[in-house]
Structures are given as structure tokens and as C-alpha cells.
């Protein structure tokens, strides 16, 4: 059974959602039958690219320019930190950088072609949300790729991977996805948001049951 996930590696809710999906799969009786495929989504496609003005600014600083009051921002980050801690995730919002995630998505697709997509997504999430690394930096990305056993040159991405990012974003638009994470279980059941593990487990069970149900027949 395939689980398709649209996410953006700069999104802390997607970071949390991946962990909750992992926990749900661990509890799922048929976990060995589950394959997770990651799809690209950009919450801020117009975010500055590496080297452009504003790229790499602290996320808190960027959010302040979008109208978030300090108290509001502090409350939001504290809530996320608490949720992450409850799931055993390291989370340092004070270290996160405002970056364009397109190059990182291209890297994910390159890794996926070698069966390393999920591992690559996990490293990128950790780099962005806990390790004070810029996931748009062409000096950083090859090192992250190497950690999963992949050689990758950000200066020469495979055009197929670039096209795959655009295709994912187009498909999300066709599906009406407006926010991430967005989960689709066996192409039949969609769940939006970083929902609790119990709900994601229920979705896995529902999709698996529907997929395993025998086709109905009628006598003529």
C-alpha cells in the first residue's frame, strides 16, 4: 500500500507530520506492505534563492516582517516545540533559516530514484529544524546527500528531478492541496495536516481494509 505525502522541508508541521506517520506505520499490523513516497510542495515558491537578498535570514525575523507579533511568535514556537518534544523530535526554531526549498526538493527526487527518498527527507528536515544548516546552500546539500550514500552536484541537477518537482506541485494544485503535510493513503483516502498518530493509523487501516476487500459480484 502506497502513502503519498506532499510536504515542504521548511515546514515545521511537515517535520512533525513525518514523525507521526512513522509512528503510525510502526503500530500498523501490515507495516511491511507500506511504501511512502514524498512529493514536493512549496509554501513560499517566491522565497529568495541562495545568494539573493533576504535568503537565509532567521525564520523568526522573516515572520516578524509578515506581521507576527513577538508574543504571538513565541507562543506559536513554544507550542510546536512542545509537540515535537512529545514525539521525540529535536526542534530548534531559533536556528531555522528562511530559504527557498526548491533545490532541496530536487535532491529528494534524486535520492528517491535510488531508494533513498525517505532518508533524504529526514535529513533535510533535521538540518532545517534542528541543526542550524541552510538547506539552500550548495556547499551544504552535497554533504547531506553523502550522508545517505548519494553523490549529488547542486550545480548540475538532473533535469528529470527538476521536472519531477514541478510535476508534484502541479499535481497538488489539481488535487486542491492548499496546505501541507497532505497525506493520500492508497490513492483513496486523504488526510490534511499533521494529525495525531492515532488518526494516521486509522487511515492506514481504513485504506488497507478497503484495498483488501473482495470485489462485489452479482448473479445474473
Nearest to 179 by CA among 79, 84, 43: 43
pLDDT at 47 over 90: yes
In a domain, 178, yes or no: yes
Which residues partner with 206 through β-bridges? none
Instruction: Grade residue 211 by pLDDT with cuts at 50, 70 and 90.
Output: confident
129 part of a folded domain: yes
Q: Which residues contact 65 (CB under 8 A, 6 or more apart)?
A: none
Asked if residue 125 lies in contact with residue 88, where contact means CB atoms within 8 angstroms, the answer is no
CATH number at residue 28: 3.40.30.10
Give mean pLDDT, residues 16-36.
97
Query: Is 123 among the domain residues?
Result: yes
Residue 36 lies in a domain: yes
Question: What distance in Å separates the CA atoms of residue 163 and residue 169, rounded to the nearest whole number?
Answer: 10
Residues 6+ apart with CB under 8 A from 76: 68
Q: How confident is the model at residue 68 (pLDDT cuts 50, 70, 90)?
A: confident
Cell 478497503 belongs to: 210
Please write the tens of the pLDDT for every residue from 96-141.
Answer: 999 999 999 999 999 999 999 999 999 999 999 999 999 999 999 9
215 pLDDT band, cuts 50/70/90, is very low
Give the separation between CA 130 and CA 126, rounded to whole angstroms. 5
Domain that holds residue 63: 2-212
List alpha helices for 34-158, DSSP H.
59-65, 70-86, 102-112, 117-129, 141-147
For strands 182-185 and 189-192, give the pairing.
antiparallel
Residues 58-79 have a mean pLDDT of: 91
* Whether 100 contacts 55, CB under 8 Å: yes
pLDDT, residue 220, reads: 28
| Residue 217 forms part of a structural domain | no
Q: Quick check: is 189 in a domain?
A: yes
Beta pairing partners, 58? 97
pLDDT at residue 200 in the model: 98
In a domain, 24, yes or no: yes
| Within a domain: 218 | no
Tell me the three cell numbers of residue 71: 508574543
Contact between residue 202 and residue 23 where contact means Cβ atoms under 8 Å apart: no
Domain count, the chain: 1
Alpha carbon distance 77, 141 (integer Å): 26
Distance CA 134, CA 141 (A): 8
pLDDT above 70 (res 218)? no
Q: Computed from CA positions of residues 9, 12, 13, 16, in that sequence, does the dihedral angle turn out positive or negative?
A: positive
Amino acid at each position: 500500500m502506497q502513502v503519498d505525502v506532499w510536504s515542504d522541508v521548511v515546514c515545521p508541521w511537515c517535520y512533525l507530520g513525518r514523525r507521526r506517520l512513522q509512528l503510525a506505520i510502526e503500530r500498523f499490523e501490515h507495516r511491511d506492505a507500506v511504501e511512502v513516497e514524498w512529493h514536493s510542495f512549496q509554501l513560499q515558491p517566491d522565497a529568495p534563492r541562495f545568494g539573493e537578498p533576504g535568503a537565509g535570514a532567521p525564520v523568526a525575523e522573516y515572520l516578524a516582517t509578515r506581521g507576527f507579533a513577538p508574543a504571538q511568535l513565541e507562543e506559536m514556537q513554544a507550542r510546536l516545540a512542545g509537540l515535537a518534544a512529545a514525539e521525540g523530535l529535536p526542534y530548534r526554531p531559533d536556528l531555522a533559516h528562511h530559504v527557498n526549498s526548491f533545490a532541496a526538493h530536487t535532491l529528494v527526487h534524486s535520492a528517491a530514484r535510488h531508494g533513498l527518498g525517505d532518508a533524504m527527507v529526514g535529513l533535510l528536515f533535521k538540518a532545517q529544524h534542528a541543526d542550524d544548516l541552510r538547506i539552500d546552500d550548495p556547499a551544504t546539500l552535497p554533504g547531506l546527500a553523502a550522508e545517505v550514500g548519494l553523490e549529488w552536484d547542486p550545480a548540475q541537477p538532473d533535469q528529470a528531478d527538476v521536472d519531477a518537482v514541478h510535476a508534484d506541485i502541479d499535481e497538488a494544485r489539481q488535487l486542491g492541496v492548499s496546505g501541507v503535510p497532505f497525506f493520500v493513503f492508497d490513492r483513496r483516502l486523504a488526510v490534511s495536516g499533521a494529525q495525531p498518530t492515532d488518526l494516521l493509523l486509522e487511515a492506514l487501516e481504513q485504506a488497507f481494509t478497503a484495498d483488501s476487500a473482495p470485489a462485489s459480484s452479482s448473479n445474473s
